Amino acid sequence: MTRLRPADHGLEPVIPAERVYAPERVPGDGEVNAQVCVIGTGAGGAVVGKELAERGLDVILLEEGLYYTAADYAGDTPMRSVRRLYRDHGFTFTMGIPNILMPLGKCVGGTTVINSGTALRMPEWAFRRWQLEHGLEALSWRELQSLYERVEPPSGVGPVAEELLGENSKIFRTGSEKLGYSGEVLTRNADGCKASGRCFLGCPRNAKRSTNVSFVPRALELGARLFTGARAERILLEGGRVVGVEASVDAPGERRRRRLTVRAPNVVLAAGAVLSPLLLRKSGVGRQHRHAGKHLRIHPASRVVGLFDREIRGQFDVPQSYHLTQFLEQGLSLEGIFVPPAVLAPAMPGFGAHHAAMMRDYDRMAMLGYRIIDQPSGSVGPSVAGTPIVWYDIGREDTRKLLRAMSLSAEILFAAGALRVFLPVAGRELLTNIDEARAFAHLEIPAADIEISAYHPHGTLRMGSSPDTAVTDIEGRVFGTKGLYVADASLFPESSIVNPMMTIMALASHVGQRMQA
């Protein structure tokens, strides 16, 4: 386990500082050697890095963002946290209609720092589909369970305690039970949670065991080195095998980015389903793989807001602590959420005096989030500037699913006593009773009228049994390029159905344990 020390705001991980190379510590145009270079420190990179370091390998972790913990962001306002911890200052969008907001972390810990901490194992029926349809029988369900068992304890995974559920989640549970829908309290990676209500802004107490306070410090304790502010530009290849990574470092006060070359015979791509395929393509490997950058799924999501006749004050509860399991096999997931005024205000309809009056009821609002299991409707490619462009067009069937999830969510809020419900649909923002909520599922509404966001990009370097259908094998080895591996959500051949973090970690652990380095 990673060592923690008490701090004013909670706990701080003990980080071996001598092993962290911030931009100012990187010598101008330097070169370093390692046995393995891991690109990214999120759910995939941190876990694979720790596994490899535990095996005694000389590991370098490259991370484009900087190293922050609660000591840095505990006092931040929401927008300041977003600016500090999110890629593109929180404004990462897909191209297509509608543009879909897809927040990604850009810091040590990646998106684990800014997610809600939901930590679930994927259902067996979904994994069986992975095995059958993608030839992945080499990894058994039982083995997957032991991988989960390996990554869960360092992540502090456990169910949300009843006393932390909060009024927002209780409303969700009450409404669901009244309607006879089955659900359960979520498990999260936050065993020391004090319900600060800020999971997606970086836990202010380090109670959420994102990888910046769990697997990364552990990997460093085991001897790994971490370069922060270091953006991997391309993978270096010689004669069909990997020889290293070229990165650039944004050193303070310098106009030109420093060049950092990592010489390593093994490279693990763990930059996430948006950046990993891009890097593969920029390095000239992607062209051999017709599936690279394709089959993107994102779990399109949104939320409804219910107004109640009593105070709820969900801002100071665990935002995501209860979910419905009833509709998972139909591709619908409903989860409690709650956001601060700075995030809610732009999403509420209108502006001006009417809008301000609505916001005055903030303390009486409950929120419910939902996401759908989508078709592989997107792809990732480079822009002229070399930055990623995500193309995603939501299909008619998926739009119907979104409307059904929205309708169910509104129905639940009304069943729990909501006076009215606000929807994220242009021109149809308000429902006043449960019948309207039920009828909503049957309307034909174009996707462009729905405000959609997404938090789970996956599938862009999918694993499988052959290069004809996949980019990597079950152990993350990229077909046709020796020494190159993938260990992030890009690997998913289909949806994990539930929030993907723990499955990414489990697969990364598998890659790290099996790598022949």
Partner 1 sequence: MLTEPERRIIRALAGAMLPMREELFRGVDVAGSIDDFMQGAPAALTLSTRLAIWAVELGPLAWGFGPTRFTSMDREQADRYLSRWDRSPRYTIRSLFFALKVVVMGLVYDRPEVEADFCRGRG
Tell me the catalytic residues. Answer: 456
Query: HSE (CB half, 13 Å, CA atoms) of 397?
Result: 7
Q: Which is nearer to partner 1, 83 or 396 (CB)?
A: 83
Q: Which is nearer to partner 1, 315 or 496 (CB)?
A: 315
What is d(CA 392, CA 379) in angstroms, rounded to the nearest whole number?
Answer: 7
Q: Which is nearer to partner 1, 312 or 471 (CB)?
A: 312
Residue 302 Cβ, how far from partner 1 at the closest point, in Å? Answer: 14
Return the SS3 of 310: coil
What is d(CA 131, CA 116) in angstroms, rounded to the nearest whole number?
Answer: 29
Residue 114 Cβ, how far from partner 1 at the closest point, in Å? Answer: 16
What is d(CA 9, CA 192) in angstroms, rounded to the nearest whole number?
Answer: 12
Q: Which is nearer to partner 1, 29 or 363 (CB)?
A: 363
What is d(CA 427, CA 479) in angstroms, rounded to the nearest whole number?
Answer: 49
* DSSP run (H or E) holding 304: strand 300-307
Burial of residue 256 (CB within 10 Å: 0-12, 13-18, 19+) is: exposed
What is d(CA 337, CA 327) in angstroms, rounded to the nearest whole number?
Answer: 18
Residue 315 Cβ, how far from partner 1 at the closest point, in Å? Answer: 6
Residue 393 Cβ, how far from partner 1 at the closest point, in Å? Answer: 13
Q: Tokens 């067996």 correspond to what residue? A: 124
Crossing angle for the helix pair 43-54 and 501-514, nearest 10 degrees?
30
Residue 459 Cβ, how far from partner 1 at the closest point, in Å? Answer: 25
Residue 337 phi, psi dihedral angles, 5° rounding: -140, 165
Return the SS3 of 391: strand
Residue 80 Cβ, how far from partner 1 at the closest point, in Å? Answer: 8
Q: Which is nearer to partner 1, 177 or 451 (CB)?
A: 451
Q: Which is nearer to partner 1, 11 or 347 (CB)?
A: 347
Residue 401 Cβ, how far from partner 1 at the closest point, in Å? Answer: 20
What is d(CA 263, CA 246) in angstroms, rounded to the nearest whole number?
Answer: 9
Residue 50 Cβ, how far from partner 1 at the closest point, in Å? Answer: 30
What is d(CA 246, CA 233) in angstroms, rounded to the nearest whole number?
Answer: 6
| Chain residues that interact with partner 1, rule: CB under 8 A | 77-80, 83, 88-89, 91, 97-99, 311, 313, 315-316, 340-346, 350-353, 355-356, 359-360, 362-363, 387, 426-427, 448-449, 451
- For residue 480, how many other CB atoms are within 10 A of its CB? 12
Nearest 5°: the CA angle 59, 508, 470 is 115
Q: Which is nearer to partner 1, 179 or 316 (CB)?
A: 316
Residue 427 Cβ, how far from partner 1 at the closest point, in Å? Answer: 7
Q: Which is nearer to partner 1, 185 or 345 (CB)?
A: 345
* DSSP run (H or E) holding 335: strand 332-336
| CA dihedral for 251, 257, 262, 263, sign (positive or negative) | negative
User: Taking Cα atoms as reference points, which of 257, 285, 258 lies closest to residue 269?
Assistant: 285
State the DSSP string of 203-271: -TTS-S--TTTTHHHHHHHTT-EEEESEEEEEEEEETTEEEEEEEEE--TT-SSPEEEEEE-SEEEE-S
Long-range Cβ contact pairs of 141-145 (< 8 A, separation 24 or more): 143/510, 144/506, 145/121
- Determine if residue 488 is left, alpha or beta; phi over 0 gives left, psi from -120 to 50 gives alpha, anything else beta: beta
